[in-house]
Structure 1
């Protein structure tokens, strides 16, 4: 009997999702403690919204944002500089064969959702949506 592997379109495996969530919790705990020597991170209020794992679990991309505000570019650069130290902290908290290399990206999902909401609330868009709905009812 041969094993069938899902292709890349199948999405992340259960293991990827589980390990990524453990890494997210570990990163969030480290960031909450605020044990940084870097002045850009010393007073930073950073939240880890999501972590995505590569199929081999060797790379993790952490999506971060400021707590209640935008994350300054200086803090994102500081996180990237602190990645080796953060990797060590995550390795202590999450039992894996190899400590994953951490990559940091700004989480823009909330900004995108707010922009879509603003567009949907524009009078011309709302009018078009009502027309489309009326056309659907007439059929």
Structure 2
């Protein structure tokens, strides 16, 4: 039986996905309400795009981005400084038997989408795409 993980061929298990999404929603709600005792963190609007858990559910990596994309490094520092309080609140709020250790990384999804749009709008790429579409239509 294949071991399931983000790095293997099988991908994450249903349990990993369910726990990750539950943590994402809880973390988003806590950050939105400003329930943390750190006024610097409470002043920020932070988007939690995704939470990925390790196969053993001991580590949860939250992919975050400040609203507007400004102050990314400050957000990571503030979340790291408050990760123990956030973990405690997530555990209490969600009633998990074992609350994973929280880690935070910048969500690169929006940057990747912008780069893909930029590439696709390039004149040379558009010519190639149009030519490929014309070939498919002729077939």
What is the match of residue 108 of structure 1?
A: 108
How many residues in Structure 1 have an aligned counterpart in Structure 2? 135
Q: Which residues of structure 2 form unaligned runs of 5+?
A: none
Between the aligned partners of 1:26 and 1:136, the Cα distance in structure 2 is 47
Q: Which residues of structure 1 form unaligned runs of 5+?
A: none
What is the match of residue 78 of structure 2?
A: 78
Deviations 1:69-102 (A, max 9, x none): 1041112111111111100001101222222100
Higher Cα radius of gyration = 1
Matches within 5 A, 1:1-139: 4-7=1-4, 8-67=8-67, 69-72=68-71, 73-138=73-138
Change (3 A) 1:71 1:86: farther
Deviation at 1:5, TM superposition (A): 4.1
Between the aligned partners of 1:71 and 1:25, the Cα distance in structure 2 is 23
RMSD: 1.7
Q: TM-score, normalised on structure 1?
A: 0.87
